[in-house]
Chain A
């Protein structure tokens, strides 16, 4: 079968699942800097699906694409360690402040530049925003069909892909022509771990900015092994309409941010012994909360 070209959209996110006490500043706001930056969990599920296609169809190329600040290159390295072939970092001040629509537009422009892509995989949603909007909006911007909430690829044949979707109350199997956008659910298989060989091979993979910032002299390394250079694309590298990027291209604006404060109540303590529980149940029955 014809080898495929797959783009996996990945995002570096603060680990909002572990917002501990130390992650809150004295004024009650979230100290983002104190949160570890991680590979968005469902994007790893998406990467795994792409790698499975590569296992099946020899010659298939898995390309990571991430948009973010310079340090988001970590996500690309992590993907290379796990079996991806290449990665691109989309980074520019012009992209800053983007809502999901402007983000999707920038990503769609970058995918067009990668060119000739058969499949675009993304995680269902990112844990810092939980919107699940970027996948479908990239699809719309590229005028491609989309299949969301995917748990499994069942078949790829004759330019079509068959996928199983996990919905609230069941499953659905759909057949979709390629190219298309697929968003992968957290219930899909977890991503394979780093591969020791790939880790050795890509340990020194760096973007141009990282190469320049590094104190060591890597110049010969990057001329001898060009695969170690992670391409960094700015707004000038993609064909785009500036009006649709970043803050300007974002129809939604944040008006206000508030911290959540709960009103503590004065609770009544109930003994967990027989007497305590019996009294409580009697009281609830008498005041008609129960029965």
Chain B
């Protein structure tokens, strides 16, 4: 009762990164609230899945293991989560802000008539006073998120309804092992008691999902391109520099929308959040929604032909010039000086 739950997502038998990031955050919130951290995993062939979760400080792993649950489907997954939460009465429920969490989260919160805040960038514990009702609340979850197209930051609370639910995008929280030898408990749910046949009316006919190949989130150096890169061909210049110095290629949303780079490379408020030791921004103007996803980089180099580009304000090094001329020079002089 009154614990913190993370609804975990799996991919080919592996717990996805965003779930582990949330467990890491959940562990520190649980310490602060002096409650337990629990995980819910739904799927098929989930033997030993708890072993991936214990090191993150998970005290209890609830497992719904059934061949019919092999792929995510709204109705059966909702039915399981809703009934389990009615029984266990968590105070907080966290999910990844992926297509999974953004489909499941609202459905579950509506069924429980509890509140849900999407795409939080920070979660904290705090108090609240409702002066009009003369009520004092302690230990609420502050759900902090950008609003209004990213131009403001709002702190959202759910004073009265439980659970307090929030989704968080991949990369926003940091993943960290709590203790390699941490031991929790596993409880297997009797799936037939949680789902009805009617929950399986939606049928998956075909699925082509690629496993993620791009790993910009964990890259220590990122060469990111924006709309100013101008073309897919010019993006190859970024790839060449990245290969030379051992970096990953990232992109702004404008570059992704223009088709210069794939979706999985988008950095920012609606992409991934990154914190590399070096971020090289090429032809990126630095709108607030982009900066939100990379401002914690240890060092930022901006290459832009506009000396007034907003990104220059947060950069450590500013190179004012045409990236098609600057990038080949960087490649050339890196090679020359590392031989």
Q: Which residue of B lies closest to A291 (CB)?
A: B338
Distance of A16 Cα from B289 Cα, bound (Å): 11
With known contacts A136-B107, A145-B74, A278–B295 Cβ distance under 8 A: no
Q: List residues of chain B with CB within 8 A of the CB of A145.
A: 74-75, 201-202
Give the total number of A-B pairs whose CB atoms are below 8 A apart. Answer: 237
Question: Does B111 lie within 8 Å of A140, measured CB to CB?
Answer: yes
Quick one: closest A residue to B211, CB to CB? A169
| CB <8 Å contact, B153 and A258 | yes
Task: Produce 1/0 per residue, B296-321, CB < 8 A to A.
Answer: 00010110000000001111111111
Of chain A, the residue at the smallest CB distance from B153 is: A258
A148 and B99 contact, Cβ closer than 8 Å, known pairs A30-B151, A257-B152, A290-B334:
yes
Residues from 124 to 159 in B contacting A, C-beta threshold 8 Å: 128, 142-143, 146-159
Nearest residue, chain B, Cβ from A244: B113
| Count of chain B residues near A, Cβ 8 A | 84
Q: Which residues on the B side are within 8 Å of A133 (C-beta)?
A: 102, 105-106, 109, 116, 118
- List A contacts of B278 (CB < 8 A): 284, 289-290
CB pair B317–A268 under 8 Å, yes or no, is yes
Closest CB in chain B relative to A187 CB, distance in Å: 9
Q: Are A137 and B209 in contact (CB under 8 A)?
A: no
Which B44-88 residues have a C-beta within 8 angstroms of A?
74-75, 78
Contact of A252 among B158, B204, B209 (CB under 8 A): B158
Instruction: Pick from A3-11, A99-107, A190-198, A227-235 the stretch touching chain B.
Output: A99-107
B337 CB-CB contact with A under 8 Å: yes
Q: A173 contacts the other chain (Cβ, under 8 Å)?
A: yes
Does chain B have a CB within 8 A of A146? Answer: yes
B196 at interface, CB cutoff 8 A: no
Does B326 belong to the interface (CB within 8 Å)? yes
Query: Is the CB–CB distance between B316 and A30 below 8 Å?
Result: no
Contacts of A136 in B (CB 8 A): 74, 103, 105-107, 110
A245 within 8 A of B: no
| Chain A: CB-nearest residue to B210 | A169
B330 x A101 contact (CB < 8 A): no
| Interface residues of chain A: helix, strand, loop or mixed (majority) | mixed
Q: Determine if A276 is an interface residue (Cβ-Cβ < 8 Å).
A: yes
Pairwise interchain contact B202-A175, C-beta atoms closer than 8 A: yes
User: For residue B188, which residues in chain A have a CB less than 8 angstroms away from its CB?
Assistant: none
Given contacts A146-B74, A255-B157, A267-B316, contact A173 B205 (CB under 8 A): yes
Contact call B128/A255, Cβ cutoff below 8 A: yes
B135 to chain A, nearest CB (A): 12
Within the complex, which residue of B105, B152, B314 is in contact with A260, where a contact is CB–CB below 8 Å? B152
Chain A residues numbered 237-278 whose CB sits less than 8 Å from any CB in chain B: 250-260, 262-265, 267-272, 274, 276-278
A141 CA to B322 CA, complexed, in Å: 54
A126–B338 alpha-carbon span in the complex (Å): 50
User: Counting CB contacts under 8 A, is B248 at the interface?
Assistant: no
Central interface residue in A104, A128, A290, by most chain B CB within 10 Å:
A290
Bound-state CA distance A134–B116 (Å) is 11
| Contacting pair B106 A140 (CB below 8 A) | yes
B153 touches A277 (CB 8 A): no
CB distance from A38 to the nearest CB of B (A): 12
User: Per a CB cutoff under 8 Å, which of A99, A100, A258, A269 touches B318?
Assistant: A269
Shortest CB distance B327–A (Å) = 9
Look across to chain B and name the residue whose beta carbon is closest to the beta carbon of A169: B210
Closest chain-A Cβ to B276's Cβ sits at a distance in Å of 10
Q: B336 near A: Cβ within 8 Å?
A: yes
Give which listed residue, A148, A257, A290, contacts B221 with CB less than 8 A: A290
Task: Decide if B114 is an interface residue (CB 8 Å cutoff).
Answer: yes
- Given A277-B330, A282-B337: A176 touches B155 (CB 8 Å cut-off): no
Q: Report the minimal beta-carbon distance from B217 to chain A, rounded to whole angstroms.
A: 13
A19 near B109 with CB under 8 A, answer no
Are B152 and A258 closer than 8 Å at their CB atoms?
Answer: yes
- Rounded to whole Å, the gap between the CB of B331 and the closest CB of chain A is 9
**A162 on the interface (CB 8 Å rule)?**
yes
- Residues of B near A270 (CB, < 8 A) are 317-319
Q: Is the C-beta of A199 less than 8 angstroms from some C-beta in chain B?
A: no
A290-B75 Cα distance, complex, nearest whole Å: 49
Is there contact, CB below 8 Å, between B202 and A174?
yes
User: In this complex, what residue of B is CB-closest to A277?
Assistant: B329
The answer to whether A130 and B319 touch across the interface, beta carbons within 8 angstroms, is no
For residue B98, CB closer than 8 A to chain A, the reply is yes
Whether the pair A171, B318 counts as a contact (CB closer than 8 A) is no
Complex CA distance for A24 and B149, rounded to whole angstroms: 13
Among B106, B115, B152, B209, the one with the most A-chain Cβ atoms within 10 Å of its Cβ is B106
The smallest beta-carbon distance between A100 and chain B, in angstroms, is 7
Contact with B along A110-138 (1 / 0, CB 8 A): 00000000000000000111111111110
Q: In the bound complex, do residue A262 and residue B314 qualify as a contact, i.e. CB atoms below 8 Å apart?
A: yes
- How far apart are A276's CB and chain B's nearest CB, in angstroms? 7
Does B270 reach chain A (CB closer than 8 Å)?
yes
Q: Are A128 and B148 in contact (CB under 8 A)?
A: yes
Return chain A residues, CB-CB under 8 Å to B75: 145
- 5 closest Cβ pairs, A-B complex: A16-B149, A272-B321, A251-B115, A252-B115, A170-B209
Q: List 22 A-B contacts (CB under 8 A).
A: A16-B150, A128-B148, A131-B119, A132-B118, A136-B103, A136-B110, A146-B103, A146-B107, A148-B103, A149-B103, A165-B99, A169-B209, A171-B206, A173-B205, A174-B205, A177-B201, A260-B151, A276-B319, A278-B337, A282-B337, A289-B278, A290-B278
Q: Other than the known A252-B158, A274-B329, what 20 A-B pairs have Cβ atoms closer than 8 Å?
A: A101-B109, A101-B113, A130-B118, A131-B118, A136-B103, A140-B110, A145-B201, A165-B99, A168-B99, A169-B211, A174-B205, A175-B203, A176-B202, A258-B154, A262-B313, A265-B316, A272-B321, A272-B329, A277-B319, A290-B245
